[in-house]
Amino acid sequence: MTAVDTNVVVRLLTEDHPKQAAAARSLFAAGPIWIAKTVLLETGWVLRRLYGFGETAVRDSFTKLLGFENVHIEDEPSVVAALALIAHGLDFADALHLSSRPAGAAFASFDKSFVSRANRAGASKVSVP
């Protein structure tokens, strides 16, 4: 198994650097790949800020990664839950923070807009302290 860094995932998804994109495709085709949640978090940021991806495009890109049989994602249930929350107006980072909390735990944020979106999405126990 090979764990990959953000830049490998970005090259695979954007194909903006032909040589590195080819190397990323070869790596992903060669065997099992492990992707940390932190790599996904950073990849989402890079795709939005540097490549202009919207949240839907980020979600679609990560869904594509999850579809590869040989790709293993750290805490996949939380990542899948976060991707579902994007459809309700949350960005990937906030959705991942929320979905990664322990079962039954409350979630506090001073970001009133985030709390409102999370509650509209059906998340429980999300509030402003």
Q: Is 82 left (phi over 0), alpha (psi -120 to 50) or beta?
A: alpha
Per-residue pLDDT of the chain (129 residues; tens, 9 = 90+): 999 999 999 999 999 999 999 999 999 999 999 999 999 999 999 999 999 999 999 999 999 999 999 999 999 999 999 999 998 889 999 999 999 999 999 999 999 999 999 999 888 899 999
Name the residue ranges covered by the structural domains of the chain. Answer: 1-74, 75-129
> Which 8-state DSSP code applies to residue 102?
P
| 26, 18 Cβ separation under 8 angstroms | no
Largest CA distance in the chain: 49
Radius of gyration for the chain, computed over Cα atoms and rounded to the nearest angstrom: 16
The pTM of this model reads 0.89
CATH topology (fold) of 1-74 = Rossmann fold (3.40.50)
